[in-house]
């Protein structure tokens, strides 16, 4: 089945220690998104890629970076995690498929704990 995969599902890192979360997709979608979701809140868009074009949300901290080496993979790098960065990180994809233009599909998420 075509899907969005996130690894790891759970990640524990230390305060200030860089961490990378990964996302892969078999949907061949050209758009990939990273969202941050804190407890009892709605997902908040951090940035997205349209093909190789990177688009950062204005309020995304500089501490968050992303890489997309190819269509299938996208990475979220947190350079110096703080306690406030503990959250669920959701990857999503969308594409220009016939029918539902830019319908988003989400991965299962990575729950990040910062100690």
Partner 1 sequence: GIQVEQSPPDLILQEGANSTLRCNFSDSVNNLQWFHQNPWGQLINLFYIPSGTKQNGRLSATTVATERYSLLYISSSQTTDSGVYFCAVGENFNKFYFGSGTKLNVKP
Interface positions with partner 1 (CB under 8 A): 31, 33, 37, 41-45, 48, 50, 55, 88, 90, 92, 94, 100-109, 111
DSSP class of 83: G
Cα 99 to Cα 58: distance, rounded to the nearest angstrom = 31
Q: Which is nearer to partner 1, 48 or 81 (CB)?
A: 48
Order of strands, sheet of 19-25, starting from the edge strand that comes earlier in the sequence: 4-7, 19-25, 73-78, 64-67
Cβ proximity to partner 1: between 45 and 86 the closer is 45
- Going 102 to 68 to 64 to 87, the CA torsion angle's sign is positive
Do 105 and 92 meet the contact criterion of CB atoms below 8 Å apart? yes
Minimum CB–partner distance for residue 23 and partner 1 (Å)? 14
| Least distance in angstroms from the C-beta of 85 to partner 1 | 16
CB of 67 to partner 1, least distance (A): 19
Smallest separation, CB 26 to partner 1 (Å): 16
Nearer to partner 1, 83 or 101 (CB): 101
Taking the least distance from each CB to partner 1, the nearer of 2 and 17 is 2
- C-alpha 41/C-alpha 44 separation (Å) is 9
């Amino acid at each position: 089945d075509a899907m969005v995969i996130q690894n790891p599902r759970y990640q524990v890192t230390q305060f200030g220690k860089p961490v990378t979360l990964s996302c892969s997709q078999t949907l061949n979608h050209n758009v990939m998104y990273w969202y941050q979701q804190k407890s009892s809140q709605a997902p908040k868009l951090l940035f997205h890629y349209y093909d190789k074009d990177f688009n950062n949300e204005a309020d995304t901290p500089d501490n968050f970076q992303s890489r997309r080496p190819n269509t299938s993979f996208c990475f979220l790098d947190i350079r110096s995690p703080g306690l406030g960065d503990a959250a669920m990180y959701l990857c999503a994809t969308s594409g220009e498929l016939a029918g539902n233009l830019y319908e988003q599909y989400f991965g299962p998420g990575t729950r990040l704990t910062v100690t």
